[in-house]
Amino acid sequence: MTTETSTPIATGTTAWQPKDGDQPNAQRILHGPGITLVRISFRQGQVLEEHRAPGPILISCVSGVIDLDVTSGATTQAHRLEPGTTIYISGGDPHRLVAREDAVVHVTLQRNVSTE
């Protein structure tokens, strides 16, 4: 939930709010100049298929366990994210997330950032 103030602020950011089906539930929970915070709630087994962000992102595991594959150039690296783990992904790098158990992750997206 975002509270309307002159400074963007979000509350309840760690809440697990999944949806049924194959896809996790992604919700924008904070939006400010140049940055967006998204909470993604996964049920065990849900997959966020390979995709790319236009700019750099941070993925932080809040709860549960997530397997993350990141491709940079010709190399794909596998990572296991557990609570308290944060990873940086360069803009344009393909990545895929799979929930090994019910989980919540935060994705911080930078917008209008030059990657040169």
Structural domain boundaries in the chain: 16-110
Q: Return the closest-CA partner of residue 105 out of 74, 84, 89, 78.
A: 84
pTM over 0.95: no
pLDDT on residue 111: 82
| Torsion sign across C-alpha atoms 84, 82, 24, 17 | negative
CATH fold label, 16-110: Jelly Rolls (2.60.120)
Contact 92, 71 (CB under 8 A): no
Per-residue model confidence as pLDDT tens digits over 16-31: 999 999 999 999 999 9
